[in-house]
Structure 1
Amino acid sequence: MGQEVQYILESKRLVWLVAVVFAVVVMFQYLEFPYGDVSSSMFSVHRAQPPLSQTNQTKTSSEIPKSTGNNTIKFISPPPSSDSTTSPPSSTSASLTPTITVNNTVVAPSIALDNNTLKPEVNPPNLNPNFKKPAPSENKPAMSTGEPQVKELPPVQERPIGDIVTLSDMHDILLHNRASVRSMKPQWPLMVDQELLAAKLQIEKAPINNNDRALYSPLYRNVSRFKRSYELMEKTLKVYVYQEGEKPIFHQPQAVLSGIYASEGWFMKHMKENKHFVTNNPKEAHLFYIPFSSRTLEEKLYVTGSRSRDNLVQHLKDYIHLIAGRYDSWNRTGGSDHFLVACHDWATDETRKSMNSCIRALCNSDVGKEHFELGKDVSLPETYVRSTQNPLRELGGKPASQRSTLAFFAGQMHGDVRPILLHYWENKDPDMKIFQKLPKSKGNRNYINYMKTSKYCICAKGYEVNSPRVVEAIFHECVPVIISDNFVPPFFEILNWESFAVFVEEKDIPNLKNILLSISNRRYLVMQQRVKRVQQHFLWHAKPVKYDIFHMILHSIWYNRVFRVDPVS
């Protein structure tokens, strides 16, 4: 009996010892093995599974949409990579790709939404070094099936400031913005919304038309679309011009009809005098014009030496508050159907905050650092008008056979590009007439004669990307050579600039002559003839004529407005 009791006591001690050992092992496993997954570590030969935050979240996040106002964001896992056999698998959560459903339209890949406005999240949104051109079918209107439509968009990546955006890049960015970025959905509908949408569909389906003698098709990206859009503009467009605003900053174009900022003055003059496009009924308007002069704003309000433009920015902000308080037009669309025309270098920055939702026609069209948005903003031609009575004075130049100078430039040493140009080419080669500012002459005769007798006219940037030489070269039938990285040329949405102009990167200035000599004489003759043909789009007339610069500026504004209309609005 005593032996049995002793046996039982020893058995209990053994059981307690085993329990203690087991507890110690369990504690050790919990502290040492990843994620605290004891059972899998102890009893399975397989690796520990990813944590719940990585595995179960993959399943649940694709099933439970996250609400953001009126928009729905869903997370879905992308298909396996084609080279997954050679690449190590990445974590599931890191590969999640958001898709966004907006008004029954699914947009992919990662595009951040700001209420009803589709905009890429990165800043700046329109600089992407690795854009992939959308297939032709992506530009066609999708068939209506009643199901959500998926828009496959090129990825948006941030391009560091300082990188060069080529014309090809700009075209891809434009296509991307056309497909992905929409104006704010109107707070309440009007008939003008449907008219804009109808115009967009008609432009997209424009029949091929290359027989218009007034329009030489090689000059355009798509001459049929341009012709149809222009016809619809003439037939449909109505513009409301605000009467608010005190002179001379507002409503006084006479102050800016000459000089290098003349584009904003001449446009204001023609717009205010126009009886075909202007309406007195805001509800009929497809566009709203803010009639101010950026040049006069600088002359009247900037305090010399202050190095501050805050009061200029505030003046424009106060004006927007004024019209927003008196009209419901601004609030209906958030200003996306409003536009301004400004040529001063500062205008891009001055309008960026209070007027950034507007369509901005700007001479300083720098896609690299000035927040110029392709597809919304318009590159305004900088025109040097020497005679307000006769803006066409000195039009034209010598025929190609009588142009003895290979290349010409003259100007002040503004910015950092022109000094480099002169360093390599001033007095270095008899074929390259590269000067600082020429001595004064009556009517600037020396400068104009060089323009009229040179094959190529160098348009080198100054402090900013824009230069009046681009239009001056076309005015005098000289092939423009544009040396200005990230400059969006005027009417970029419409014109095929590479068919009649030469673009040289700033870094290639030392090789400038070789670049020009590499262009065959036959090719030069074709380009020079095209310069003469495109000239009609860059001329100011005392009274506007079809396809002239006034109508082209207005058309680009109209065109960008039409293509930012949300088809589901």
Structure 2
Amino acid sequence: NPDPNPHCMCFKGRLGHDCSMPQDELCPNKCLDRGTCHRGFCHCRPPYFGLDCSRQHAWQLAPGAVHVPNRARLRIYMYDLPSHIAFPVAMDDDITESVFNFYHTYRVFLEMLSVDEVVRTENPWEANLFYVPAQAYSYSSNTNSPANQIMRAISYVRDTYPWFNASGGRDHFVWTTGDRGSCYLPEESYGDLHKRSKFCLAPHGAGFGIRLTIAMAHACVPVIIQDNVWQPYESDGLLPYHEFSLRLGKADIPHLVPILRSVSEARLAELRLAMARHF
């Protein structure tokens, strides 16, 4: 049947009945009123430049000078990556990453850091931390691996600027706001991390989530933190979760490390044997 109320499905960056309205919130900090927003890209007026038109200075070491990071207070330098390396690319029609607020924290951080004159520095030679805005969520969404995009951004930074190589990347950081965070990154596989772990967190997802079965498949005792959520077959009495898992509440999270350290090796063995019986 034809749609009784036809409407336009607008490309990312446009809104309205006929897609004539710009979606300025796609641009970080709405370009700080120093430029115009075009589908997520700030066209800055001189002398401003940068992702949100927040920059107006560039720095270079004087001849014979050496790189000395600030030791008195936190100073973070944020790279300006070109659009072919990292950009909030278009997703489905009329759908943007800003719809999912809990996946949007990297954007909130970027916008807050950008206007923080106390912490942010435009001078990379005084920085003691470096932020790589890889925009990984735009490329991978919440469940796919962000590894390719993050490594692409890091490779560009490593090959273009001197600061990554100076520390081996130890003072560089990125945001990974998908469901599995940095578990996809190549330092260690998700499965290997589970295999060598004694306890694995099982917070809820859309309901009880998938993390419980992933933990059990790797002989890792699930630490279920899901207040007021029944686990599969728990209400029927088919699975005695108290025999093979730890049940904690959100209020226990601040004390999570000492709680887990207090579990004896004998108790851990009991939990794993019971888990094997029911998996």
Please, what TM-score do these two structures have when normalized by structure 2?
0.44
Q: Give the number of the structure whose residues are more often helix, by fraction.
A: 1
Please, what TM-score do these two structures have when normalized by structure 1?
0.24
Structure showing greater radius of gyration is 1
